[in-house]
Structure 1
């Protein structure tokens, strides 16, 4: 389903959605991800993959959003049909988006996920509207497993729904739900936090801040002074997939002067991983890389990651390892089929290490 066609059809259906208003602070809404609840009546979603889900009755569902920039997109899945999302292309400002109508009597389920990321701005969730007589039901049980991903455009899902021979920087082709990170989490029945930003690096980014500046923020909208409470949610597994942008900006673009030595690159990566280890002393950390050209034949960057991990293992950290996604020769951002292959590799790796 093309999202414009699907949404337009719903808008033209003329359904009345002004029946039952569900406020954002309703206890039966289940939120997942780093979501800013400074105002419980206007929680802000900014990180890719952040989600809201719940169970309800009634023949119709609409979603109310107030988008900062008019650049975000969201998936809405009804009754667990993950192959056919209704895609909301958020307009700037406050608006109600009809997403389902003509539903059968009885219980239904919805899942809203943010396709886009912090560079598209934040979105304030303003609640739901159900058809007359509809109500929220208790939410599904929370998943017992937790995985956090720290990454760049690959982890965000930049361009994953682009045609193979087309541009892959359009926001409408970015779908975090079909990134290797989100696919892996679903395969392992785990809750995921996606702490990623397209263009970000460890030593240098395509903008003035790096992941060591960004990883601890509550809001993903640029470099800001918000603070995530790391005690609020603890992962058993952490996956770090960084260094692709460092490779481009250091080796190709020559943006760092003087050029860092191999030892300095390894040390910069190790220092960041040690920050994560200090936050999560019991987590199993997977230091991944790929599948873009940082892992192509002859690249030194997988070796930098391995060396940093080797140094941490030699210092006594035995709950850390390296995983390199293979270079396929494809020059652009990974498409969904490559994300699926990488997710299969990562899923098997985590199952082996964690016994999941």
Structure 2
């Protein structure tokens, strides 16, 4: 009798365990998932996220949510926000290869929302999204309506958010401290209720970068993983506003590091910037273009680099471009990459500027 009782208890325990792990699989190609950003859908069952700030959101029922990822290098980090609580993200530190990551449990009955955002950028490799796991009986609901306003950012580490969550006296380079969600770019987009595409790469410049390719080589890619032959379809998503925040790395590499020989003249620097912005203008003839610079030492007192940007913009305006302007984020004297508080200040400045120009 004891044997039969023990066997029954074991069977019941196994059954309970099976029920606990039972769940509802949501495939990555579900029409009720909302994707935002330059995402590679070559395989709809496992789209690849590589650009900072790319995101997936949706609504669901059930007591739990888990995220299934296949990461190329094991270096990517993601935020998962539940029910619009941006103050308490679940942070996924993706391991190399395929894995399932719990993101929420013990949720109350009824509808819930989720937002998954990529914290870092293409230099950490791409991540294939393989779908979701909901609690047994849970289901995916129709997604929220898409935002009607669109902003695209072309930038470097400042736009990405390199080191923004590091302490002021901490290092800038740790992957865990890079969070695009709290960069000026993403903060501005949220403040303006706009979808954002963050086309940025730490270390990149217009004339020269800390690696062999520049933004004019990089800006038209579908994948942000290095310099590659993928092609973004610019007709698939059109921004109302474009923010260009480049030249910080050029200032270091040209003036400080002397990496270009012969040294480019002022006129050549202005022409290089103008040529890139004209490429953007050709792609987006109706967009309002904001040529930004800062808030690192390229804008410190005595720097010529803000003047290069202003002159290039003035030249384009003189040629008839009336939907373009300049904004400079002030340098605070802080020697590292901007921290969250500086990003918030820059976002407030940019948000007010765009509201004025666009009537938003």
Give me the TM-score of the superposition, normalised by structure 2. Answer: 0.95
The yes-or-no answer on 1:300 pairing with 2:304 is: yes
The yes-or-no answer on 1:272 pairing with 2:276 is: yes
Q: Which residue of 1 aligns with 2:239?
A: 235
What is the CA distance between 1:337 and its match in structure 2?
A: 0.1
2:157 to 147, 153, 158: 153
The yes-or-no answer on 1:60 pairing with 2:64 is: yes
Aligned 1:176-187 pairs, distance under 5 A: 176-187=180-191
The yes-or-no answer on 1:104 pairing with 2:108 is: yes
Aligned 1:28-177 pairs, distance under 5 A: 28-177=32-181
The yes-or-no answer on 1:291 pairing with 2:295 is: yes
Give me the TM-score of the superposition, normalised by structure 1. Answer: 0.96
What whole-Å deviation, never above 9, does each CA across 1:80-103 have from its counterpart, x for those lacking one? 000000000000000000010000
> Given that residues 168 and 333 in structure 1 are in contact (C-alpha distance below 8 angstroms), is that contact kept between their aligned partners in structure 2?
yes
Distance (whole Å) between structure 2 residues aligned to residue 298 and residue 142 of structure 1: 44
Aligned 1:18-37 pairs, distance under 5 A: 18-37=22-41
What whole-Å deviation, never above 9, does each CA across 1:22-78 have from its counterpart, x for those lacking one? 000000000000000000001000000000000000000000000000000000000
Q: Which residue of 1 aligns with 2:286?
A: 282
What is the CA distance between 1:146 and its match in structure 2?
A: 0.2
What is the CA distance between 1:16 and its match in structure 2?
A: 3.9
What is the CA distance between 1:15 and its match in structure 2?
A: 10
Distance (whole Å) between structure 2 residues aligned to residue 37 and residue 108 of structure 1: 26
Distance (whole Å) between structure 2 residues aligned to residue 196 and residue 180 of structure 1: 13
Q: Which residue of 1 aligns with 2:13?
A: none
Q: Which residue of 2 aligns with 1:204?
A: 208
What is the CA distance between 1:17 and its match in structure 2?
A: 4.8
Runs of at least 5 residues in structure 1 that lack an aligned partner in the other structure: 1-13
Residues 296 and 18 (structure 1 numbering): CA distance in 2 closer, same or farther, change over 3 Å?
Answer: farther
Q: Which residue of 1 aligns with 2:349?
A: 345
Provide the aligned C-alpha RMSD in A.
Answer: 1.0
> Given that residues 35 and 44 in structure 1 are in contact (C-alpha distance below 8 angstroms), is that contact kept between their aligned partners in structure 2?
yes
What whole-Å deviation, never above 9, does each CA across 1:202-252 have from its counterpart, x for those lacking one? 000000000000000000000000000000000000000000000000000
What is the CA distance between 1:18 and its match in structure 2?
A: 3.8
